[in-house]
């Protein structure tokens, strides 16, 4: 009986992992950024992935950011033109 449960669990796990992978839901959406400045209560200027050219990006208003903060930038649906700063990176 235990082997049947383990077999079923492993089969479902493989199916779910395959489907998530096929849909591209785990492909490179998380990027590194550094806050250059705060534009307003909705936008930051952020250098993404080591770039020296800052980009204006929307951010999570529940987090207090300041210049120099290391942050996580999410590419929404994997598109680099649709970005969002979610949170600070831990050191």
Q: What is the DSSP string of 43-88?
A: EEEEEETT-SS-EEEEE-TTS---TT-EEEEEEGGG-TTSEEEEEE
In a domain? residue 40: yes
Which domain does 81 fall in, by range? Answer: 30-88
Q: Domain of 52: which CATH number? A: 2.40.50
- Are 65 and 71 in contact by the 8 Å Cβ rule? The answer is yes
pTM here is 0.67
pLDDT tens over the chain, length 91 residues:
568 888 887 888 778 767 766 776 555 688 889 999 999 999 999 999 888 999 999 998 899 999 999 999 998 877 788 899 989 887 6
How many domains are contained in the chain?
1
Dihedral over alpha carbons 54, 64, 61, 24 (to 10 degrees): 60
């Amino acid at each position: 009986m235990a082997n049947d449960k383990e077999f079923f669990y492993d089969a479902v796990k493989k199916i779910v992992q395959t489907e998530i992978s096929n849909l591209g839901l785990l492909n490179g959406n998380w990027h590194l950024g550094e806050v250059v400045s705060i534009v307003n209560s909705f936008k930051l200027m952020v250098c993404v992935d080591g770039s020296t050219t800052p980009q204006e990006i929307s951010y999570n208003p529940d987090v207090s950011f300041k210049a120099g903060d290391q942050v996580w930038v999410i590419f929404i649906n994997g598109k680099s033109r649709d970005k969002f700063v979610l949170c600070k990176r831990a050191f």
